[in-house]
Chain A
Amino acid sequence: MNFLLHAFWAPLTETYFQKALIGGCAVALVSGAVGSLVVLRRMAFLGDALSHAMIAGVAGGYLAMKLLFGVEAYAPAMLLGSLIAAIITVALIGVVSKVSRVKEDTVIGIMYTGVFALGVVVVSIFRQYIHIDLMHFIMGDILGVADTDLWASAIVSASVLTILVLFFRHFQLASFDPIMAASTGLPVLVLDYALTGCVSMVVVSAVSMVGVILVVGLLITPAATAYLLSDRLDKMMALASLFGVTSVIGGLYLCVWLDSAGGGAVMLFCTLQFLAVLAVAPRYGLLARWRRLRNMIPQQVVEDVLITVLRQQKETPLKVLQQFVQVPQPGTLWKAVKQMESEGLIEALPQGYRLTGVGEKQAANVLRAHRLWESYLASIGTPEDAVHPTAHRLEHIHGAGIVDYLDQKLGQPEVDPHGQKIPRRGNGARKKPAGNEPEEQ
């Protein structure tokens, strides 16, 4: 108990930890919200491009202030430089992908590595004048957050959140249906630029904490995690912010306990969180998907049950069904029978199962499909011993018009190759009833 208290409380008393917590949470809060839009608009690569472009901006801002005013490492200038570099990169990407045949993803890759390389070269050429630690830049240093960085992230966080809240509807509409948005006179282009601006500000303020490489993760991973859990944009944004904050808190503790790199620990926690949600999310998770697939009863099994009961021409016990119906898994037959009972295709009697009126019609349709397929197979010269098994597989293909086509083509035969009567077309086919669409549940 004492140990636990120590593990959680002790770091909180340290100033560096408090600063990291405050700064990290401020950035995570807003990057989750804005990241939701980035994820939905498929702009994830853009976040990466922006962060890489930054180094050129930082170097430019540093250099300009030093040469013009002799001021060392003036933070606002470096921030402004980053923003300018980010905007230039985005503009370059837009122009080049529009006027050349090179596609946008490639252009993004070219531009951001190019601008990043420019920054690296500039920093190393002017290493006597400007003192930028490239490693710090690339990896970030959430445990060494300076007060100016704290202020910067607080201001960015507050202003971007304000913009997102005020213009939530506009961003929602422009992201979901830009054509409709434009048709109602919404300035879609301005909104696009505003969003890009917001993303740039968030990226710039996050780089000092988690570094160039990991910043895109902080932008999109919490948002993607929330995406798996939400059916509304406002909810997704709120959840994404929450997941961002939990990643920062969890990551920071992880980093203190394991004595690891701060940015790495935060993103690791964030990714694990995503994987956990991916596994267990109630609707869009893997577990839910697996369970849905497992509970789905193949149409083929249903039809095989129908036709088996029809052929028996009396109440059929489950044992007989097991003999004739092939199932993918042991439990499926039982589930299929239960479902068919509730759908009113068969009814259970003490001696076994019996077809209802509807079930009988459907069974007749499957039988008709089977016997017509047999006739067809015989007519194209299929060996006699292969006719029945092949038709047994093909009988499940009886969608719109297929069986009627066979019927027409074969000249509406009365009997199949084995001399058995082909049932006439009934109207109990498992088709959607007219005017009434299939509903889930």
Chain B
Amino acid sequence: MNNGKGTPAIEVRHLTVSYGARPALLDVSVRIEKDQLVGVIGPNGSGKSTLIKAILGFEKPDVGEILIGGEDVQKAKGKVAYVPQRGAVDWDFPITVREVALMGRYQHVPWYRSPSAADREAALEALSMVRMSDFAERQIGQLSGGQQQRVFLARALAQGSDILLLDEPFAGVDAATERAILDVLERAKAAGKTLVVVHHDLATAAEYFDNLVLLKQRLYAFGPPAAVLQEELLSQVYEGRLRVFTDLMAKEGGR
């Protein structure tokens, strides 16, 4: 761990976001250091997507602030690259793999100009980093689930942001594909990116991430998986569904 070393990539301070009377997030403070692969876990409706939206600057906090690389989130538009959930994308949209990657460059191109040769180069480079260059001319609907996920990762890489936000990248892909995506995430991390990943599967959380954020309205735990995946904590957060997880903890222990 590199506590206190330099400015953190993302710093969330006492964040409270509410819809009406019910706070979606209550007093959440997280300090995510650079070059980390961080998982965000918690049950459905626990405020994971609100946290993501807040880090993207879409939510107006009731209290608290979010700093991206030491800068207020509203001034840091485009510094956080977002990879949407697979279900949120229109896969029939007439767009090719190359164009999706190139979209990552749009924020760097002034409106009166076309993307330059350098932009196109950067997009291709991002595609080759996720091993998708061979599919550049394909329409995105003709790819397999894992390939689709990788194309959007390439777009995020092409944005040149140091922080990547991924919304359930492992949802609905098979085990082999999950490994392939994880491999790309690891390489992005090695290239100096900070990755924040919303994740559903507690069974793999320990293996995949450097640090975990355990969320249910408020922050229950933040730290290395071993410290977060405690039976007591999980039982508080997941309440009635604990039995499943005790089995799971036993398996984790046995490994």
For the complex, is B174 an interface residue (Cβ under 8 Å from A)?
yes
B interface residue count range (under 10 / 10 to 19 / 20 to 34 / 35 or more): 35 or more
Q: How far is the CB of A267 from chain B (nearest CB, A)?
A: 24
Q: Which of B112, B139, B174 contacts A432 (CB 8 A)?
A: B174
Per-residue CB proximity of B137-154 to A under 8 Å, as 1/0?
001001010110000000
Among A183, A236, A433, which residue has its beta carbon within 8 angstroms of that of B80? A183
* 8 Å CB interface, B158-197 against A: 159, 174, 176-177, 179-180
Query: Which residues of A in the span 414-433 have a Cβ within 8 Å of any Cβ on B?
Result: 432-433
A185 at the interface (CB under 8 A from B): yes
Interfacial residues of chain A within 219-243, with CB under 8 A of chain B in the complex = 227, 230-233, 235-236
Q: Are B142 and A176 neighbours in the complex by a CB distance under 8 Å?
A: no
* Cα separation A45 to B77 with both chains bound (whole Å): 33
A176 (CB) vs chain B CBs: closest residue:
B93
Q: Which of A134-191 contact B (CB under 8 A)?
A: 166-167, 169-170, 172-173, 175-177, 179-180, 182-186
Known contacts A40-B93, A167-B111; A179/B82 CB under 8 A: yes
Shortest distance from the beta carbon of A247 to any chain B beta carbon, whole Å: 20
* B237 within 8 A of partner (CB): no
Q: How far is the CB of B114 from chain A (nearest CB, A)?
A: 8
Q: List B contacts of A349 (CB < 8 A).
A: none
Please name the residue on chain A nearest to B115 by beta carbon: A169
> What 0/1 pattern do residues 57 to 95 of A give for CB contact below 8 A with B?
000000000000000000000000000000000000000
Name which residue of chain A comes closest to B138, CB basis: A231
Contact B111 A185 (CB under 8 A): no
Contact B177–A437 (Cβ < 8 Å)? yes
Q: A437 contacts B82, CB within 8 Å? A: no
Q: Determine whether the beta carbon of B89 is less than 8 Å from that of A177.
A: yes
Residues of B within 8 A of A440 (CB): 142
* List of A residues within 8 angstroms of B89 by Cβ: 177
Q: For the complex, give the distance between the alpha carbons of A176 and B102 in Å.
A: 13
Contact: B144 with A437, CB < 8 Å? yes
Least CB separation from A177: chain B residue: B84
Task: Considering the complex, give the chain B residue whose CB is closest to the CB of A441.
Answer: B142
Q: Could you tell me if A231 and B176 are in contact, using CB atoms closer than 8 angstroms? A: no
Whether the pair B94, A227 counts as a contact (CB closer than 8 A) is yes
Q: How far is the CA of A111 from the CA of B216 in the complex (A)?
A: 41
Q: Which residues of B contact A185 (CB under 8 A)?
A: 77-78, 107
Q: Which of B82, B95, B109 is in CB contact (< 8 Å) with A176?
A: B95
- How many of chain A's residues have a CB under 8 angstroms from any CB in B? 33
Alpha-carbon distance between A243 and B243 when the two chains are bound, in angstroms: 61
**Interface-central residue, B99, B112, B155, by most chain A CB under 10 Å:** B99
Nearest CB in chain B: distance from A99 CB, A: 14
Given A173-B106, A180-B103, check contact A236 B94 (CB 8 Å).
yes
> Contact at B144–A439, with CB atoms within 8 Å?
yes
Interface centre among B96, B146, B174 (most CB of A within 10 A): B174
Query: Nearest chain-B residue to A169 (Cβ)?
Result: B106
**C-alpha gap A182/B52 in the complex (Å):** 13
Q: Is B57 an interface residue (CB 8 A)?
A: yes
CB <8 Å contact, A435 and B180 = yes
- B179 CB to closest chain A CB (Å) equals 6
Q: Which residues of chain B are within 8 angstroms of A184 by Cβ–Cβ distance?
A: 77-78, 106-107, 159
Complex interface: chain A residues within 8 A of B177 (CB) = 437
Q: How many angstroms between the C-alpha atoms of A185 and B112 in the bound complex?
A: 17
CA gap between A177 and B159 in the complex, in Å: 14
B215 at the interface (CB under 8 A from A): no
Whether B117 is near chain A, meaning CB under 8 Å from some CB there, is no
A169 lies within 8 A of B174 (CB): no
- Closest residue to B55 on the A side, CB-wise? A183
Q: Kindly list chain B residues whose C-beta atoms are within 8 Å of the C-beta of A2.
A: none
A40 to B94, CA, bound (A): 9
Q: Is B21 an interface residue (CB 8 A)?
A: no
Q: Is the CB of B77 within 8 A of A183?
A: yes
B103 and A177 form a contact (CB under 8 A): yes
Given A177-B103, A437-B147, A437-B177, is A169 in contact with B109 using a C-beta cutoff of 8 Å? Answer: yes
Binding site for A on B (CB under 8 A): 56-58, 77-78, 80-82, 84, 88-90, 93-96, 99, 103, 106-107, 109, 111-112, 115, 139, 142, 144, 146-147, 155, 159, 174, 176-177, 179-180
Q: What 5 pairs across the A-B complex have the smallest Cβ distances?
A: A185-B77, A231-B139, A184-B107, A184-B78, A183-B56
Supplied contacts A166-B112, A436-B176, A437-B180, 13 more A-B pairs, CB within 8 Å:
A40-B90, A40-B93, A172-B103, A177-B89, A179-B84, A182-B56, A183-B56, A183-B58, A183-B78, A183-B81, A184-B78, A231-B139, A432-B174
